Amino acid sequence: MTTIKILGSGCANCKRVEQIAHKVITDMGVEAEVIKVTDYAEIMAYNIMSTPGLVINEKIVSTGRIPAPVEVSSWLANALETA
């Protein structure tokens, strides 16, 4: 199954990304699990330097900004194709 991870300590921006992820999943009607990663050691395992980070199937697709829903849906579509 597709997993989407939101990397971030839980600040306002991270919550926005999480909302967008949920919205995109519902809109596309796909099955995906959204996991919030708040532990710094775990976040840093992805070697990112700015949060929020968005990871789809263990691939980092965006860091340090709130991506637009269109972007997220295209990344998700890509991930579904390659899976």
Q: What are the catalytic residues?
A: 11, 14
Cβ atoms of 40 and 75 within 8 Å: the answer is no
Give the separation between CA 67 and CA 82, rounded to whole angstroms: 21
Of 28, 17, 20, which Cα lies nearest the Cα of 54? 17
Over the window 38 to 67, marking each residue x when it contacts other proteins by CB under 8 A and - when it does not, the resulting string is --xx-xxxxxxxxxx-----xxxxxxxxx-
* Interaction between residue 36 and other proteins (CB under 8 A): no
Using the minimum distance from each CB to other proteins, give the nearer residue, 2 or 13: 13
* Interaction between residue 31 and other proteins (CB under 8 A): no
Angle between helices 69-82 and 12-28 (to 10 degrees): 60
Contacts to other proteins by CB under 8 A: 8-11, 13-14, 40-41, 43-52, 58-66, 68
